[in-house]
Amino acid sequence: KISETLIITEFSGGQDVPRPAISCEKIARQAENSNFRSVMIDKDPSSAFRTLLQQDADVLLVTGSFFLLNPLLGQIEKVVKLS
């Protein structure tokens, strides 16, 4: 088990081949059937990342596409030294 908490977010921006993303609400509904103690939706990726940093956990995991991670790189670099 990696986490008891799931923070769901989304990104907006252009892609080479635009495809609709799965909605946060649909992911949250699926997560309700799993072992998460808490499922949160924060549609602003920067805000979701700040919420993640406030979690009392030994491991913090960010997953998603490069389209999501790219705007967060500045915030991530402030917390973790990327080599």
List per-residue pLDDT tens for the chain, 83 residues long.
678 899 999 887 666 666 677 899 999 999 988 888 999 999 999 999 999 999 988 888 888 777 788 888 888 888 886 65
The pLDDT of residue 75 is: 86
The pLDDT of residue 76 is: 85
pTM, to two decimals: 0.79
Contacts of 72 (CB under 8 A, 6+ apart): 45, 46, 49, 62
Q: How far apart are CA 42 and CA 16, in angstroms?
A: 25
